[in-house]
Amino acid sequence: MATETTGAPSEDAIRDALATVNDPEIHRPITDLGMVKSVEIAADGAVAVVVYLTVSGCPMRETITNNVRDAVAGVEGVTGVSVELEVMSDEQRKELATSLRGGTAEREVPFAKPGSLTRVYAVASGKGGVGKSSVTVNLAAAMAADGLKVGVVDADIYGHSVPRMLGADGKPTQVENMIMPPSANGVKVISIGMFTPGNAPVVWRGPMLHRALQQFLADVYWGDLDVLLLDLPPGTGDIAISVAQLVPNAEILVVTTPQQAAAEVAERAGSIAVQTHQKIVGVVENMSGLPCPHCDEMVDVFGTGGGERVAEGLTRTTGAQVPVLGAIPIDVRLREGGDEGKPVVLTDPDSPAGSAIRAIAGKLGGRQRGLSGMSLGITPRNKF
Q: How far is CA 7 from CA 10, 72, 133, in A?
A: 9, 15, 57
Residue 131 counted as an annotated binding residue: yes
- Establish whether 132 is an annotated binding residue: yes
Q: Give the Cα separation of 337 and 166 in Å (integer).
A: 9
128 is in an annotated binding site: yes
Residue 265: how many CB atoms within 10 A of its CB? 20
Residue 171 marked in a binding site: no
Q: Where are the beta strands (DSSP E) in the chain?
A: 36-41, 46-53, 80-87, 119-124, 150-154, 173-175, 178-180, 183-184, 187-191, 227-231, 251-256, 280-286, 290-291, 298-299, 324-328
Please tell me the number of Cα atoms within 13 Å of 51 on its side-chain side: 33
307 is in an annotated binding site: no
Q: Which segments within 204-279 are labelled E, that is strand? A: 227-231, 251-256
Confirm or deny that 83 is annotated as ligand binding. no
Which residues partner with 101 through β-bridges? none
> Distance of CA 188 to CAs 26, 172, 225, 239, 365, Å?
10, 10, 9, 20, 16
Q: Which residues are CB-contacts of 61 (< 8 A; sequence separation ≥ 6)?
A: 53, 85
Residue 45 labelled as part of a binding site: no
Residues making up the annotated binding site are 126-133
Residues making up the annotated binding site for ATP are 126-133
